[in-house]
Amino acid sequence: MNHLPLIIKREYLTKVKNKSFIVMTILSPIIMIALISVVAYLSQLNNDKVRTISILDESGLVESAFQSTEKTKYNILHNMSLSDAKAIVKETSSYGLLHIDKFSNVDDISNHIEFYSEESPSISIISNLENQLEKKLTNIKLEQQGVDVSMINASKVYVDIAQESFEGEKTSKIDSVVKLIFGGAAGYLLFMFIIIYGNMIMRSVIEEKTSRIIEVIISSVKPVQLMLGKIIGTSLAGITQFVIWIILGGVLMTIISLVFGIDMMQSPQQDMLQQAMESPEANSQIQNLINAFYNLPITNLIIAFILFFISGYLLYSSLYAAIGAAVDNETDTQQFLLPIIMPLILAVYIGIFTVIEDPHGTVSTVFSFIPLTSPVVMLMRIPFGVPIWQQLVSLLLLIGTFMFTVWFASKIYRVGILMYGKKPSYKELIKWIKY
Amino acid sequence: MSNLLEVNKVSKNFGDFKALNNVSIAVPKGSIFGLLGPNGAGKTTLIRVINQITMPDNGTVHLDGEALNENHIKDIGYLPEERGLYKSMKVGEQALYLAQLKGLSKAEAKTRLKYWFERLEIGDWWNKKIQELSKGMAQKIQFVVTVLHQPKLLIFDEPFSGFDPINANLIKDEILRLREDGATVIFSTHRMESVEELCDDIALIHQSNKILDGRLIDIKRQYKINTFEVGIRTNNKAVLQKELSEKFEVSKANFKSLEDELKLNIKLNGDAPNDLLNFLTSKGDVSHFVELIPSVNDIFIQTVKNN
């Protein structure tokens, strides 16, 4: 008799009808969105603030370099002593005072520039000031030595290396960023999914043990069926939760940005991107971005995502189920969880640090074959173009391991669910397999 | 009478530990079969083998003449000693789920559950969660779930634990009624008085071995010691006791009675009970004459100690 659908249905319904599950499903996106809005709102406030910087240029050479912008106003002071200037700046509550000493030699000037302020100034402001001063002073020095600055500017050359694979696919830097985001998102999603729902499976196995219902059930169904039913049912509940999160999150985000006018996506990085867009190359940049999406191996990505996600998830969740069966309560699980979480975290770190640096290097390639890390690492590598044979070999290894772990886990599960009272050691777990 | 269940030379090892050693039992159709033994003797392992939860290393199990297989799951109802229900699930939903796992259709399970809930007067529990019920209440539901699919073989492991005397009696009557309806019952318990009361056959397992089995009456016959408990009114107790001890093996007896009489246990060595009775009537008024039949409790303790 095949009871798998019945078990899946029960597991799914009890999970979905569970109060804390419902609360988590609804509350999580609300909290997330609320947090993001607050951060976005605050950084917007911060950005709107206008800073005034007073400048006392006793040399009279560089003050013309400072042009006020929207966010920074420069207040040029004239004909006063440094101490007077400081007093004024303090009174007018300017952000700070930039003092350029009275020298005529450019090198002397550059060595005697100081910034006075109430609190220590932000790095970006100082480096901004330094940039402007350097530019101006360099130009003055060049002129003093009889070099035509306009000629230098005119003869500047900009290089943008066009990238193309041997197959004729054009790529660009933006391509790499898009690939990174796709791969990273896929790998991270799998990681999160395993941690959240693996634990849920484990808890539900422990619950069956502690409520002592297990013996009644396995007198009707095979333990393997029960385990698979649990894994599949819980995963379906997980997918339901994820979909609700995405939809609810999207709707909330749209509402908030419409009602409160907060741009969630606003960030300093975007400002820079905007600035870049304003340059003559802007059009080609946008074009590049669109091209980058088209250049992704979309079909390959989707198929690989589904296959690696499912096998990787099943591999880990069967281990979680086995742990749940081996222990009596959740506090005893730590010892067994560590060896499962380690490879997962390793996979994410390799994905973040190595795949970005060199997606086809030895480390990334090797770890995209090792079954416990391969789902995450391979998913991160695929957007960069992985030969099909590598994907196939890795997937076959993964499926082989997954079948082995399900077999292994079901052995532990079968014995473990009827064992009460003591926490088993690894040695005993190995012994159980022979029972 | 044919046997419903035949367990033939079953052995099971867990690592170095021998849980069952060449155990054979035969459970006659329509009987109540007591599976007895001290703690850790191997009863639960044997029951799990019959339920196909544990696979035996050696030996065979036949149900109704057929080697045990997956189709037999629906023919067996098992109430384990370690039992429980999903705490946060509603009673009705849960009972339906468990019944469906035993192969009943949802509609059929619902009809039967309604019937049983009415019968045990627990109809208004349908929408309650298990965690709202007391232990005894939950046990009732487990009992219903065990018998709902009308299995040929019912296995009860300590069925009365957790019940008050009224409910224990109710469950006992239900078990007897199920037997009348044709079910065969295996009954594992440490409460010897219920074995005495219910069981037709017993098997005693001790340290992984079966050390005794058969019809309870036959076993009692085998264990009886030809001793009679007698009470006799006489004017001279001491003389009579002396006379008796010359003819028979005599020891002091203890039983409650209304008279002040001579109370003795008398063992016959080859004599017929009537010889003793005739002798006694010639000496005084016999007020008490009972053959001492060993209780299951005595047989249990004696057999386990001797092994």
- Categorize the per-residue pLDDT at B8 as very low, low, confident or very high, splitting at 50, 70 and 90: very high
Instruction: Report chain B residues whose CB lies below 8 A from the CB of A220.
Output: 73, 98, 101-102
Q: What is the mean pLDDT of residues A382-411?
A: 86
Nearest by CB to A10, which of B74, B97, B145?
Answer: B97
For residues B280 and B183, membership in a common domain is answered with no
Report how far residue A312's alpha carbon sits from residue A318's, in angstroms, rounded to the nearest whole number: 10
Instruction: Report chain A residues whose CB lies below 8 A from the CB of B102.
Output: 220
A223 to chain B: closest CA residue: B53
Count CB atoms within 10 A of the CB of residue B267: 15
For residues B73 and B217, membership in a common domain is answered with yes
| Residue A271 confidence (pLDDT) above 60 | no
- Categorize the per-residue pLDDT at A38 as very low, low, confident or very high, splitting at 50, 70 and 90: confident
Q: What is the mean pLDDT of residues A208-228?
A: 86
B139 to chain A: closest CA residue: A213
Of A191, A182, A206, A186, residue with least CA distance to A384: A182
Average pLDDT, chain A: 81
Residue B258: CATH number of its domain: 3.30.70
pLDDT digits (tens, 9 = 90+) for B178-219: 999 999 999 998 888 888 889 999 999 999 999 888 898 999
- Categorize the per-residue pLDDT at A167 as very low, low, confident or very high, splitting at 50, 70 and 90: low
Of A117, A112, A109, A129, residue with least CA distance to A93: A117
Give domain status of residue B215, yes or no.
yes
| Residue B84 confidence (pLDDT) above 90 | no
- State which H helix or E strand residue A185 sits in: helix A173-210
Sketch the domain layout of chain A as residue ranges: 49-147, 171-265+296-434
For residues B41 and B69, membership in a common domain is answered with yes
Instruction: Report chain A residues whose CB lies below 8 A from the CB of B85.
Output: 211, 213, 216
Q: What is the mean pLDDT of residues A171-191?
A: 78
Q: What is the DSSP string of chain B?
A: --EEEEEEEEEEEETTEEEEEEEEEEEETT-EEEEE--TTSSHHHHHHHHTTSS--SEEEEEETTEE--GGGGGGEEEE-SS----TTSBHHHHHHHHHHHTT--HHHHHHHHHHHHHHTT-GGGTTSBGGGS-HHHHHHHHHHHHHTT--SEEEEESTTTT--HHHHHHHHHHHHHHHHTT-EEEEE-S-HHHHHHH-SEEEEEETTEEEEEEEHHHHHHHH---EEEEEEE-S-HHHHHHHHHHHSEEEE-----SS--EEEEEE-SS--HHHHHHHHHTTSEEEEEEE-PPPHHHHHHHHHHH-
Of B95, B87, B100, B148, residue with least CA distance to A6: B100
> Mapping DSSP to helix (H, G, I), strand (E, B) and coil, where does residue A75 land?
strand
Out of B194, B221, B248, pick the residue that ends a domain: B221
For residues B152 and B231, membership in a common domain is answered with no
pLDDT of residue A173: 66
| Residue A288 confidence (pLDDT) above 80 | no
pLDDT of residue A354: 81
| Residue A374 confidence (pLDDT) above 80 | yes
A14 contacts B101? CB cut-off 8 A:
no
Report how far residue B53's alpha carbon sits from residue B47's, in angstroms, rounded to the nearest whole number: 9
Give domain status of residue B91, yes or no.
no
Burial annotation B53-68 (CB, 10 A radius, 16+ → b, else e) = bbebeebebbbeeeeb
pLDDT of residue A13: 92
Burial class of residue A124 in the structure, from the number of CB atoms within 10 Å of its CB (0-12 exposed, 13-18 middle, 19+ buried): exposed
> Mapping DSSP to helix (H, G, I), strand (E, B) and coil, where does residue A335 land?
helix
Give domain status of residue B130, yes or no.
no
| Residue A58 confidence (pLDDT) above 60 | yes
Backbone angles phi, psi at A279, to 5 degrees: -70, 165
Burial class of residue A48 in the structure, from the number of CB atoms within 10 Å of its CB (0-12 exposed, 13-18 middle, 19+ buried): exposed
For residues B234 and B260, membership in a common domain is answered with yes
A431 contacts B80? CB cut-off 8 A:
no
For residues B237 and B282, membership in a common domain is answered with yes
In contact, B100 and A6? CB cutoff 8 Å: yes
pLDDT of residue B155: 94
For residues B230 and B175, membership in a common domain is answered with no
For residues B199 and B263, membership in a common domain is answered with no
**Can you tell me which residue has the tokens 């009987």?**
B31
pLDDT of residue A274: 52
Give domain status of residue B299, yes or no.
no
For residues B216 and B147, membership in a common domain is answered with yes
Nearest by CB to A211, which of B78, B84, B97?
Answer: B84
Out of B168, B196, B221, pick the residue that ends a domain: B221
For residues B169 and B248, membership in a common domain is answered with no
pLDDT of residue B188: 92
The lowest-confidence range among A94-98, A164-168, A232-236, A318-322 is: A164-168
pLDDT of residue B248: 83
Per DSSP, A420 falls in state -
Give the rounded distance of the alpha carbon of A284 from its chain centre: 27
Residue B192: CATH number of its domain: 3.40.50.300
- Half-sphere exposure of residue A5, counting CA atoms within 13 Å on the CB side? 4
Give domain status of residue B305, yes or no.
no
Nearest by CB to B83, which of A14, A215, A431?
Answer: A215
For residues B159 and B270, membership in a common domain is answered with no
pLDDT of residue A295: 66
Instruction: Report chain A residues whose CB lies below 8 A from the CB of B103.
Output: 1
Residue type, B65: G
Q: What is the mean pLDDT of residues B39-62?
A: 89
- Categorize the per-residue pLDDT at B114 as very low, low, confident or very high, splitting at 50, 70 and 90: very high
pLDDT of residue B7: 92
| Residue A32 confidence (pLDDT) above 90 | no
Per DSSP, A329 falls in state S
| Residue B294 confidence (pLDDT) above 90 | no
pLDDT of residue A42: 82
ipTM reported for the complex, 2 dp: 0.80
Q: Is A269 on the interface with B (CB under 8 A)?
A: no
| Residue A313 confidence (pLDDT) above 70 | yes
Window 165-224 of A: residues touching B by CB (8 A cutoff) are 207-208, 211-213, 215-221
For residues B253 and B161, membership in a common domain is answered with no
Q: What is the mean pLDDT of residues A298-313?
A: 85
pLDDT of residue A262: 56
pLDDT of residue B284: 84
pLDDT of residue B95: 92
Domain count, chain B: 2
Average pLDDT, chain B: 88
pLDDT digits (tens, 9 = 90+) for B264-292: 888 887 788 888 888 888 888 888 888 88
Q: What is the mean pLDDT of residues A12-26?
A: 89
pLDDT of residue A306: 87
Give domain status of residue B81, yes or no.
yes
Q: What is the mean pLDDT of residues A166-181?
A: 70
- Categorize the per-residue pLDDT at B63 as very low, low, confident or very high, splitting at 50, 70 and 90: very high
Provide the residue range defining the domain that includes B52: 3-85+138-221
pLDDT digits (tens, 9 = 90+) for A118-142: 878 878 788 888 888 888 888 888 8
Per DSSP, A425 falls in state P
pLDDT of residue B115: 92
pLDDT digits (tens, 9 = 90+) for B242-257: 888 888 888 888 888 8
Give domain status of residue B90, yes or no.
no
pLDDT of residue A418: 78
Specify the CATH number of the domain A49-147: 3.40.190.10
Of B22, B6, B16, B5, residue with least CA distance to B56: B22
Report how far residue B97's alpha carbon sits from residue B106's, in angstroms, rounded to the nearest whole number: 8
Residue type, B296: V
Give domain status of residue B129, yes or no.
no
